[in-house]
Amino acid sequence: MVKLLYLWFALAAGPVWAQDGVELNFEDLPRLLSERNQMVTGSELLVESARTRAGYLRRSYLPAIDAEAGGERFQTGEHGWKTQPYGHVETKLNLFRGGRDRLESLARSELIWLSKANARKTTAAELLEARDTYWELVSNREMAKIIEESLVQNEKYLEKANRRIARGLASETDRLEFEIHRSQLQEELESLNHAAILLEIRLAAVVGLPLETRIKTPAAVAHIHEDALLSAAFDPASHPDVAALQARRRGLDLERRKAGSSWLPSLDLYGGYTLYTLREREFLSQSQRDDKAAGLRLSLPLFDGLQSRTEAKAFTLARDGVARQQAQQQASMDARVRIAKEDLKHDHELVHYAEERIEQGKKYLARTLDEYERGVKNSLDMLGAAQKYLAYRRQYAERRKGYQITKDRLLALFGQ
């Protein structure tokens, strides 16, 4: 709770981030995206937009009122030029439209489900990018720390080489070996620091922070067993890609039914008042040029050139096509989850192999150093042992990052 309050105050501070930085934990990412990422907040507005258009069936039974008013100057027949007003007011009340109002209302409800699925898909994509970028940044900084420590160790080896050269036990090439290695490490560190700046900018953008924000992260990528995630059951229909196709399929089926019911009659109750000009009613008195009417209107389409039949057939084919895509997408999502789980298990094993190799590399380096100081090994042996140990540490860091990236994809498939 204290950490969340701290982050809230940091967010409220705005420009202070650029100076002092903001501490960002992996668990903070979903909340930050929901509050600050405009792709996410924008998709929520699209859901609200679709929800606003719902309730069509109730509104379709409200009266519709049309009004028209104006004035015109005209000359007609034996009458001279005249200026007279005209107007029209009509109220129409829907009584029955062949069930098309209900189908339209259901179709708009499906658009809500479709927009929700698209919003979940957008959120999942943005969250996946944020999580991957976060682990890239953490791993980059961990790797930079490893290189810095290797540089310190390389200086110690260089000192030992200089002492051996001074005693005549080694040649000038021993010094050059470690100096070249130092230069390579410095170059790699410079590249890592540059990459960290780019990753920090990218992460700030995706979580909605100012681009100049300094982001504080953990010093290393953690490795936590995810047994609960591996054993969790997955429902392919819950994935937003599948849910979107399902909503689209239902919407197309409703459109098919609407097209198929176009031959059904419509029944309206109407009433109105119309004021005509002398040009339309040959009465000089204005009171004789107005009409009042009320009645029932039955509309029955008899033949529309087979348009509705063609539309119904087209929607049927589209619905069946989307249904096949939905079935294939469900199978694909199920396969992707199973693959991601297997990848996560595999990455977990690789992490532990790398962990064991670091211990072996540390022992190998220590023994090589001892033998180097005793004159049994030369500078190439010493440098080779140091480079091996560095490679093992790099590999361990990379595999822990790879594990988190794989876990991010599995979380995205689960919609978490």
Domains of the chain: 24-54+99-265+304-413 (1.20.1600.10), 63-96+266-299 (2.20.200)
pLDDT of residue 49: 92
Report whether pLDDT(52) > 70. yes
CA-to-CA distance for 127 and 13, rounded, in angstroms? 24
CA neighbor of 84 nearest in space, from 74, 76, 93: 74
Cα–Cα distance list, 19 to 13, 22, 215 (Å) = 11, 9, 10
* pLDDT tens by residue, 141-157: 999 999 999 999 999 99
> Please, which residues have CB within 8 angstroms of residue 96's CB and are 6 or more apart in sequence?
265, 266, 267
* Burial zone of 251 (CB within 10 Å; 0-12 exposed, 13-18 middle, 19+ buried): buried
**Collapsed DSSP state (helix, strand, coil) of residue 82:** strand
CA neighbor of 150 nearest in space, from 327, 374, 388: 388
Sheet with 290-299: strands ordered across: 64-74, 82-96, 266-275, 290-299
pLDDT of residue 20: 62
Report whether pLDDT(13) > 60. no
219 φ/ψ angles, rounded to the nearest 5 degrees: -75, -25
261 vs 364, higher pLDDT: 364
The share of the chain scoring above pLDDT 90, in percent, equals 59
CB-CB contact of 293 with 272 (8 Å): yes
User: What is the pLDDT confidence band of residue 40, given thresholds at 50, 70 and 90?
Assistant: very high
Can you give the C-alpha Rg of the chain in angstroms? 37
User: What is the pLDDT confidence band of residue 26, given thresholds at 50, 70 and 90?
Assistant: very high
CA neighbor of 17 nearest in space, from 200, 203, 214, 207: 214
The share of the chain scoring above pLDDT 70, in percent, equals 95
How large is the average pLDDT for residues 291-307? 88
Report whether pLDDT(33) > 90. yes
Span of 24-28, 216-220, 297-301 with lowest mean pLDDT: 297-301
Give bridge partners of residue 69 from the DSSP assignment: 87
How large is the average pLDDT for residues 301-321? 89
- What is the reported pTM? 0.84
CA-to-CA distance for 204 and 130, rounded, in angstroms? 9
CA neighbor of 324 nearest in space, from 215, 258, 265, 248: 248
284-305 burial: b if 16+ Cβ within 10 Å, else e:
eeeeebeeeeeeeeeeeeeeee
pLDDT of residue 6: 38
Report whether pLDDT(2) > 50. no
Contacts by 245-249, CB closer than 8 A, 24 or more apart: 245/322, 245/325, 245/326, 245/329, 246/113, 246/326, 247/110, 247/111, 247/113, 247/114, 247/117, 248/110, 248/114, 248/322, 249/319, 249/322, 249/323, 249/326
Q: Which position has the token pair 């540490």?
A: 393
pLDDT of residue 11: 42
Report whether pLDDT(292) > 50. yes
CA-to-CA distance for 116 and 178, rounded, in angstroms? 59
CB-CB contact of 379 with 165 (8 Å): no
